């Protein structure tokens, strides 16, 4: 038993092979997209407007083509279906995003939530949870919500 614990500890202390910058970027994109998909599907009413918003955000944020955005959306949806919690996504965002990028990420989640014209309480709950997990201050959570809401009202 002690030998197994010792081996586990030694394995954990071994340096992990570095992944390429391109792979890391791809993982961060999938993580961000998976969280947008979760906001989209949490109210069990995935609308065309929400799907289009996610695709537009992916295209704009990641500077990719529509076909690439669709591939990212598909892969992220698959990753999300295999996930048991948000840690695998938020840990990548915490590792790769600075605070301004995290705040923009929360803004994108609000855009998805408001895309169908109404904010569901479950959508707000997911965004609040993600904001907490990626350490976005509550005032930014509120500010981004009001910013997106104001953009839709004009």
By the 8 A CB rule, do 152 and 114 touch? yes
Which range has the worst mean pLDDT, 15-19, 29-33, 86-90, 134-138? 15-19
Helix (H, G, I), strand (E, B) or coil at 127: helix
Residues with Cβ within 8 Å of residue 110, at least 6 apart in sequence: 127, 144, 145, 147, 148, 149
> What does the mean pLDDT of the chain come to?
86
CATH of 24-153, one of 3.10.129.10, 1.10.3680.10, 3.40.50.720, 1.10.760.10: 1.10.3680.10
pLDDT at 145 over 90: yes
Q: Which H or E element spans position 98?
A: none
The predicted-structure confidence for 49-100, as pLDDT tens digits, reads as follows: 899 999 999 999 889 999 999 999 999 999 888 888 899 999 999 988 899 9
CA 109, CA 112: separation in Å to the nearest integer? 5
Higher pLDDT, 65 or 6: 65
The domain ranges of the chain are: 24-153
Label residue 137 by pLDDT band (50, 70, 90). very high
């Amino acid at each position: 038993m002690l030998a197994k614990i010792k081996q586990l500890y030694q394995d954990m202390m071994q340096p992990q092979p570095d992944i390429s910058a391109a792979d890391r970027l791809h993982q961060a994109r999938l993580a961000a997209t998976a969280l947008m998909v979760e906001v989209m599907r949490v109210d069990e009413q995935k609308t065309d407007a929400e799907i289009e918003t996610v695709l537009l955000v992916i295209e704009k944020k990641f500077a990719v083509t529509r076909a690439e955005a669709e591939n990212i959306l598909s892969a992220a949806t698959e990753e999300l279906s295999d996930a048991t919690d948000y840690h695998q996504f938020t840990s990548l965002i915490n590792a790769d995003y600075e605070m301004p990028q995290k705040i923009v990420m929360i803004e994108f989640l609000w855009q998805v939530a408001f895309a169908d014209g109404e904010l569901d309480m479950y959508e707000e709950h997911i965004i609040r949870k993600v904001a907490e997990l990626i350490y976005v201050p509550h005032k930014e959570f509120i500010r981004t919500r009001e910013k997106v809401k104001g953009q839709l009202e004009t």
